[in-house]
Structure 1
Amino acid sequence: MNKSFGGSGDLFDSIFLAYFLENKDLKQSIKKTKDMISKVLNYQIKLDDKASDINIFEIFKNLESKVLI
């Protein structure tokens, strides 16, 4: 991915901590975090390919509507 987003470091930290506190496995937590960050950033690009920040609220709103359907 040849794009940078403001907030991606904070997002990485929060996702990593959630996974690590859940399973206490460093390697597994890093892999799961990498996979989730990739999904979030790719979804952000689909929502707005010109954005320079992650709009996590818009992502959650769209994901929530898909889960409820």
Structure 2
Amino acid sequence: MDSFELYVRNGLELRGIDVDDKDIAVMRAADAVYGPAIRSLMEADLGSAAPEIPLDPGSPPREAGEP
């Protein structure tokens, strides 16, 4: 049992969720597909990124730069 499997099994056990080998295999596959992109995003320096357009539920959607 590696650190990933130990982390998953112990974490879900705390919530009362049983995990079998199929569940671990699915989680490993999901991590193989999405993990690198997620880790890159978490490590990215987004300090210079443009701020999001302020949310105004009473107005229709607008493009960046529109008043």
Report the TM-score when normalising by structure 1: 0.33
Q: Which has the higher helix share?
A: 1
Greater CA radius of gyration, 1 or 2? 2
Relative CO higher for 1 or 2, CA cutoff 8 Å, sep ≥ 6?
1
TM-score calculated relative to the size of structure 2: 0.34
